[in-house]
């Protein structure tokens, strides 16, 4: 248990100070943070530790309000296994957040403890779930929201996922690759990305809709097994603006300028 707690603290330190330095909140946008830590919850044949940190932007502008609504769902809902019940989506933001937190801890995290049936001879199995989010602001034009998830269900090894979403701070809409490049230039972006991936010794699979808009570039983020083997962990391909500036739509260029 002590090793598990230490590993979680190390992961938090990396998120704040090192590998995930892109996730530092910006001073240009005020944020609120909800931190929950539970250690040593015991269920039939399983011990579950979990930590989660939900960060969201403050402000009353239509764009910030719209973004806040979207990231509430992005953080607490999973496209493949669990969905926020519609009856929890009423009331103001803080009321919904409180109700969704309770549902998330009771129905999602606790259920994780019984997700895999106990195996004969295994005894008590330790599992963990560590999930945190962070915000970055580029030029007061783009809000980047990142969710980092690490979990272990007691079999083989843990898994790590990193989800990155870019929002237009004027409209509150998500920014996709199609918003940045037309179809012909997307193929050119794939070639540029593959050059970087190949130089890093990774699989060449082109661009994906999981990227971070930097002040002077784009970083594509590939979860485990997508652009490398498990040992490679999260693979990142960073493309400087000088490599794709001429490929951007005119309407997208302003995202990368003050």
173: β partners? none
Q: What pLDDT is recorded for position 80? A: 67
Among 180, 238, 192, 235, smallest CA distance to 214 is for 238
Q: Does domain 176-258 have CATH number 3.90.640.20?
A: yes
Q: Say how far apart CA 51 and CA 36 lie, in whole Å.
A: 6
Q: Identify the residue with better confidence: 121 or 59.
A: 59
Domains 1-175 and 176-258 share a fold: no
Q: How is residue 239 written in tokens?
A: 């493309």
Residue boundaries of the structural domains of the chain: 1-175, 176-258
Question: H or E segment at 73?
Answer: helix 62-76
Encoded tokens for 180? 């940045």
Q: How far apart are CA 62 and CA 251, in angstroms?
A: 21
CATH 3.40.50.11540 fits domain 1-175: no
Distance CA 193, CA 206 (A): 6
Give residue-wise pLDDT tens across range 144-167.
999 999 988 766 778 899 999 999
Q: What is the pLDDT of residues 82-103, one digit of tens each?
A: 899 999 999 999 999 999 999 9
- What pLDDT is attached to residue 47? 83
pLDDT above 60 for 30: yes
> Rounded distance, CA 46 to CA 43, Å?
5
């Amino acid at each position: 248990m002590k090793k598990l707690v230490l590993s979680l603290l190390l992961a938090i330190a990396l998120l704040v100070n090192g590998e995930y330095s892109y996730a530092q909140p910006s001073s240009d946008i005020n944020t609120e943070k909800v931190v929950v830590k539970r250690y040593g919850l015991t269920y039939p044949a399983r011990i579950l530790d979990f930590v989660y940190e939900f960060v969201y932007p403050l402000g009353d502008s239509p764009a910030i309000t719209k973004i806040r609504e979207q990231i509430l769902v992005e953080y607490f809902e999973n496209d493949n296994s669990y969905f926020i019940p519609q009856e929890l989506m009423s009331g103001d933001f803080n009321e919904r957040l409180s109700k969704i937190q309770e549902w998330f801890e009771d129905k999602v995290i606790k259920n994780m403890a019984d997700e895999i049936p106990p195996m004969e001879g295994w005894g008590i199995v330790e599992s963990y779930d560590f999930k945190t989010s962070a915000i970055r602001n580029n030029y007061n034009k783009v809000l980047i929201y990142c969710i980092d998830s690490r979990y272990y269900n007691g079999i083989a090894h843990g898994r790590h996922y990193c989800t990155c979403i870019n929002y237009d701070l004027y409209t509150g809409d998500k920014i996709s690759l199609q918003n940045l490049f037309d179809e012909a230039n997307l193929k050119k972006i794939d070639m540029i990305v593959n050059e970087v991936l190949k130089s890093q010794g990774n699989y060449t699979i082109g661009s994906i809709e999981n990227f971070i808009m930097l002040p002077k570039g784009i970083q594509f983020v590939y979860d485990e097994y997508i652009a490398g083997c498990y040992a490679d962990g999260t693979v990142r391909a960073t493309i400087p603006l000088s490599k794709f500036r001429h490929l951007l739509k005119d309407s997208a260029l302003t995202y990368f300028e003050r």
